[in-house]
Amino acid sequence: MWVSATALAGDLGLSSILVRKDLSCTGLEGRPKYGFEIQPLIEAINISLGWDNTTDAILVGAGNLGTALTGYDGFMQYGLQIVAVFDSDPKKIGRKIHGIEVLNMNKVVDFIERTKIPMAVLTVPAVNAQKIAEKIADAGIRGIWNFAPVKLKLSKNIIIQRMDLASSFAELSSRLKEK
């Protein structure tokens, strides 16, 4: 029924102060000696992080990574719903991956304009990423979750979130060498 910031901190490997500070963003108040009521806390975190109502997204680039992401159940938990997948490879177009048909890349602009879909997951090769990003941004995409190892340059009002395998591995690699 109840969980304390101290307990959460222990499980997460963080300090209890940090947990309390972070939880304060949700607006929820804890009860001294008890901590936080679990159900309202989950609710409040979901709302605070925008996981409460699902965000529809398209996925562009049905390669290995794109396929894996399309099939990743965990996304639903975060309120992310992939509603369409695009690729320019004729061998992939028309095939289904995890129940979603791969559509022709040349339909993506029309699709975005028609559906007003706000978000795109970008899993295309690095060389194509900038051009494709510009295209979907022009069509009206508001946020891009970019898995390509490229810094996208787009107009300021497009929100870009980079998921960077390279720098994560680089960090591990250098920490491993240090020892």
Write phi, then psi, for 101 (nearest 5 degrees). -75, 140
Binding flag, residue 118, its own copies (CB under 8 A): yes
For residue 163, the minimal CB distance to DNA (Å) is 17
Binding flag, residue 76, DNA (CB under 7 A): no
Q: Which of 3, 28, 65, 100 binds its own copies (CB under 8 A)?
A: 65
47, 26 Cβ separation under 8 angstroms = yes
Binding flag, residue 47, DNA (CB under 7 A): no
Residues 76-95 that bind its own copies (CB under 8 A): 78-80
Binding flag, residue 169, its own copies (CB under 8 A): yes
148, 125 Cβ separation under 8 angstroms = yes
Pick between residue 43 and residue 56 the one whose CB is nearest to DNA: 43
Pick between residue 36 and residue 86 the one whose CB is nearest to DNA: 36
Pick between residue 32 and residue 99 the one whose CB is nearest to DNA: 32
Q: Which of 5, 44, 102, 121 binds DNA (CB under 7 A)?
A: 5
Binding flag, residue 96, its own copies (CB under 8 A): no
Q: How many residues bind DNA (CB under 7 A)?
A: 22
